[in-house]
Homo-oligomer: A and B are copies of this chain.
Amino acid sequence: MTRVVVTVMPKEGVLDPQGQAVRGALGRLGFGDVTDVRIGRRIELQLTGDDPEGQARRMCDELLANALIEDYSVAVEG
């Protein structure tokens, strides 16, 4: 059983209205020191079978990420 963490973030240049809104809200709450906020997805997978990293990458290519607007990274936590 392996734990793999997939991180999917909006591509640079793809505007991230949610991130902007959160930044604005933080500002209104008095957190003035925030210069940028990006919000993405963290997907924790429990995998059996071998080559968990390869499996996870295929999952990203086939479903978990949309290459047009998102970048992903995969980390095997063993």
Contact = CB atoms under 8 A, between A and B. Distances in A.
Give the oligomeric copy count. Answer: 2
Nearest to A33: B49
B55 A9 contact: no
B40 A46 contact: no
Nearest to A48: B33
Contacts of A32: 49
Interface in A36-52: 36-49
A7 B8 CA distance: 12
A74 interface: no
A22 B64 contact: yes
Contacts of A77: none
Interface string A18-44: 000010011001011111111111111
